[in-house]
Amino acid sequence: MYIPESVEINEVVLRDGIQNDKKIVPTDDKVRLVHDLAACGIRRMEISSFVNKKLVPQMADAEELWERIERKKDVIYSALILSEKGLDRAIRCRVPHVSFFVSASETHSIKNSNKTVEEAMKEALRLIGKARDAGMGVRAGVMNTFGCAYDGKVPVSAVLKHVRAFMEREPDEIGLADTTGMANPRQSAELLKLVKDVTGDTPLSVHFHNTRDLGLANVWAAINEGVTIFDSSLGGLGGCPFIPGAKGNIATEDFLHMMHEMDILTGVDLNRFIDVSLGFEKVMGQTFPAFVTHLQKAACGC
């Protein structure tokens, strides 16, 4: 059993977390949430994607959001990029770090980006170079790594092919995303072993969904394979707009609780984070899926 001294959280509530929600979050509330997350100790967050606002209206205010946030020097602010137009917008907004993800599923690739896997990969590889020229940090990743709701099982060979192609562009990090929440711990461990043989010393991050209640079990499997960078979402919000039913990221507060109970450092104040989560519940007008938040709420009679 491997237990690291610390792990790193990439908070994705402002991108993956709310992108599929019908309630459009006011920009004022987004800005406040960015600042509150940083105050809790979150040192890395994905705060938007630059996509067609007609397809994902929640992201329509991306430029305004980037203009208004107060950027702290010790926080990595990132955006998801799916097209050259999106990258151009990010460059104009002085976004310091971007993520490029290509699906390992042909059907999902068409629905997500209107491109075949081959077309999406070719463009991503080219855009990584453009982002590098603009001085951006880059994460390159594979969606539907552990399976696809449309195409079923995804061949390991397809995932490794993507990773090898990305590694030729020397990204700062490789990411693997369980876009439809189909991963199980054994599968996660076995695939991560193979991917690490390709990535070597390049940092590896994972993005698990909790769609089938296996999110934290997959986290534990990944930790035992040496992974220390994890995407998670405040409250457990999230889901892909182009995959019906694929909702539920790992809840950041549940992830934090698990790490702290095992004496693994996160740098985040859990109690303060819970307060922020409860406040954002009021903004969204809903109760979030996270467990720890509501246990604490019940205990204090809030």
User: Which active-site residues does the annotation give?
Assistant: 240
Instruction: Enter the DSSP assignment of 231.
Output: E
* Three-state DSSP state, 176: strand
For residue 189, the tally of other CB atoms under 10 A from its CB is 17
Residue 27 in contact with residue 66, Cβ under 8 Å? Answer: no
Rounded Cα gap, residues 194 and 197, in angstroms: 5
Rg (CA), the chain: 18
- Torsion sign over Cα 62, 235, 238, 224: positive
**Beta-strand runs (E) in the chain:** 8-11, 44-49, 76-81, 97-103, 137-143, 173-178, 204-208, 229-232
Rounded Cα gap, residues 248 and 235, in angstroms: 9
CB contact set of 136 (below 8 Å; sequence gap of 6+) = 90, 91, 95, 96, 97, 98
Query: What does the block give as tokens for 33?
Result: 């949430």
Query: What does the block give as tokens for 231?
Result: 């995407």
What's the Cα-to-Cα distance from 240 to each of 19, 64, 97, 197, rounded to whole Å? 8, 23, 21, 29
Residue 92: left (phi > 0), alpha (psi -120 to 50), or beta? alpha
DSSP characters for 74-90?
T-EEEEEE-SHHHHHHH
